[in-house]
Amino acid sequence: MNQTKRPYQTLSSHYLWQSQWYNLRQDQLRATDGAELTYTVIEKPRAVWIVPITNEGELVLIDQYRYAVDAWCLEVPAGNVEPGHTPEQQAAQELHEEIGGQAGQVVPVGEFYTMNGICDEVALVFLAVGVTLGEAQREPTEHITLRLVMVDEGLDMARSGQIKDGPSALAIVLSEPAIRRYLKEQQA
């Protein structure tokens, strides 16, 4: 089977709704067997998730109220990549805005799709090391408190379902090898 082949041809495309956050796009498709179908895609910019580690070997989590799920969630800083920004610049900006953080270094560790059945979002994961904390500059809709845990505890929390924000939990898991390398270098 040739898996590079797209099973659909896009016949037409129009927007049902547009906003600064995301758009709802509806496409008319033709499948390889000739059948036509409608598919709706949430069109969203790429976003960055940043796993912040201090020089003391702590993971910086944020406890954030999320209106969509009406719950406080443990997360790592994250945000959409704004036009004109590289993902690295956006990562540094989110770190600054959400936790008042400055990183010694920001390194890419991987990427994934957050909801590939309905949305085109790509999550770009960064590890920020040597993070120092300062005054956060949050948006009015961001209700956040900081929670610092040792790296091993944070990894356990991510792997055991205690971090209910899926993309944050996966971002932490994906960062583990890079975190271990950093902590080892720091000790050397």
Residue numbers at the binding site for its own copies (CB under 8 A): 1, 3, 6-8, 16-17, 19, 21-22, 24, 27, 29, 31, 35, 37, 39-42, 44, 63, 65-73, 78, 109-123, 140-141, 143, 145, 158-161, 163-167, 169-170, 173-174, 176-177
Comparison of 41 and 183: residue with beta carbon closer to its own copies: 41
* Burial (0-12, 13-18, 19+ Cβ within 10 Å), 51: buried
Comparison of 31 and 132: residue with beta carbon closer to its own copies: 31
Q: b/e string for 160-185 if b means 16 or more Cβ within 10 A? A: eeebebebbbbbbbbbbebbeebeee
Comparison of 83 and 117: residue with beta carbon closer to its own copies: 117
Residue 26 near residue 13, CB atoms below 8 Å = yes
CB of 120 to its own copies, least distance (A): 5
Comparison of 21 and 56: residue with beta carbon closer to its own copies: 21
Residue 175 near residue 109, CB atoms below 8 Å = yes
The type of residue at 43 is E
CB of 19 to its own copies, least distance (A): 7
Q: Which residue has the tokens 């929390």?
A: 157
Largest separation between any pair of C-alpha atoms in the chain: 62
Instruction: End-to-end CA distance of the chain: give it in Å, rounded.
Output: 50
Comparison of 68 and 188: residue with beta carbon closer to its own copies: 68
CB of 187 to its own copies, least distance (A): 23
CB of 121 to its own copies, least distance (A): 8
CB of 55 to its own copies, least distance (A): 25
